Structure 1
Amino acid sequence: MPNRKDRLLKEYIHDPYFTKEKYPDPSICKVCGVVFHDGIFEWMEKPPAEAKKEIVCPACRRIQEKYEGGIVEFSGKFLQEHIEEISHLIRNVAQEEMKYRPLERIIEIKEEDGKLIITTTYEHLARRIGEAVHKAYKGDLKLQYPEGWKYIRVYWHRD
């Protein structure tokens, strides 16, 4: 059977915070200290001596510009009764995620109209936070990925 030429190709979703050119290797983010080395960002106790402190990593740029990659919204009576426990779980998930994926970070946590709203640098952390709270406390979890965007909206509710 010949190769078909009429198939739909999935279009690349552009992320303005990743540059096409490579960062100098090795480089250190002058804001947070994450090291770009061998094509990835990673935390290092002792960065290479030749590292240049001249870049701002994509996560720090997103945080500075408040350009979120995901939003998590928690609501319900259960949230109000257990907000301290849930907040602690959220911070633990974020800290654990950041160990292995340094660009996945919380931008902001705020309480608004009885809801807890969290914005994250990328969609993966937002999803993981929502799933962790859902796994621990049940409730209703909804994940929405707007088509064509590198973005997620996560809603969790429990009365």
Structure 2
Amino acid sequence: MNGRKDKLIKDYLHDPYFVKEKYSEPSVCERCGVVFNDGIFSWVKPIPKEFPKMICPACRRIEDNYEGGVVLLTGKFLNNHKEEIINTVKNVEAYKIERRPLERIISIVENENGIEIKTTYEHLARRIGEAINNAFKGELKITYPEGEKYVRVKWFRDE
């Protein structure tokens, strides 16, 4: 053993959309109706009117257009199967949002290069890319820029 005690310690990845102080418990997002209680966000029906109001991190990210992940879909295959692929994207979001209310799609934008999907957090972007690749095959590349709580997902299929 060399006896060295110094080690590389990773800094905490700061997310400006989670406030340092806790939300009042219980409280409800005035935009989407998600309830914060017992330290977690969940959907409650009917939405209690007497709960204190706040704006959840997902709604704030959507308002600021501040994504936690981006998915880029490209290739000739996309043009011929656009509706099926968009349905897959929306199904993944519906599945995830039920279990993790803060995981949402911010935008889906089509342009001459393909489709760009922005998500509130990196987990949904990764899951969308994986679901499209599992369903339609192709080339999938997932990159997490060092030091960031962010993901870039690129999917391509030409045939």
TM range (shorter): over 0.9
Partners of 1:80 and 1:50 in 2: CA distance: 48
> 1:24-54, CA deviations, whole angstroms, 9 ceiling, x for partnerless residues?
00000000000000000000113456521x2
Query: Would you say the 8 A contact 2:72–2:155 is kept in 1?
Result: yes
Q: Which one-letter code corresponds to 2:38 in the other structure? A: D
How many residue pairs align between the two structures? 157
Partners of 2:95 and 2:113 in 1: CA distance: 27
Q: Report the 3-state secondary structure (helix = DSSP H, G, I; strand = E; otherwise coil) of the residue aligned with 2:18.
A: coil
1:73 correspondence with 2:72: yes
Displacement over 6 Å in runs of 4+: none
Q: Which one-letter code corresponds to 2:72 in the other structure? A: E
Identity %: 59
Partners of 1:108 and 1:29 in 2: CA distance: 20
Question: What residue is the counterpart of 2:128 in the other structure?
Answer: 129
Query: Would you say the 8 A contact 2:96–2:124 is kept in 1?
Result: yes
Aligned counterparts, 1:1-150, within 5 A: 5-47=5-47, 50-52=50-52, 54-150=53-149
Q: Which one-letter code corresponds to 1:80 in the other structure? A: N
How far off its partner does 1:10 sit? 1.4
How far off its partner does 1:153 sit? 0.5
How far off its partner does 1:7 sit? 1.5
Q: Report the 3-state secondary structure (helix = DSSP H, G, I; strand = E; otherwise coil) of the residue aligned with 1:51.
A: coil
Q: In 2 relative to 1, CA 49–66 (structure 1 residues): closer, same or farther, beyond 3 Å?
A: closer
Partners of 2:50 and 2:25 in 1: CA distance: 9
Q: Which one-letter code corresponds to 1:69 in the other structure? A: G
5+ unaligned residues in a row in structure 1: which ranges?
none
Q: Which one-letter code corresponds to 1:33 in the other structure? A: G
TM-score by length of 2: 0.94
Query: Would you say the 8 A contact 1:80–1:114 is kept in 2?
Result: no
Query: Would you say the 8 A contact 1:139–1:157 is kept in 2?
Result: yes
TM-score by length of 1: 0.94
Q: Report the 3-state secondary structure (helix = DSSP H, G, I; strand = E; otherwise coil) of the residue aligned with 1:117.
A: strand
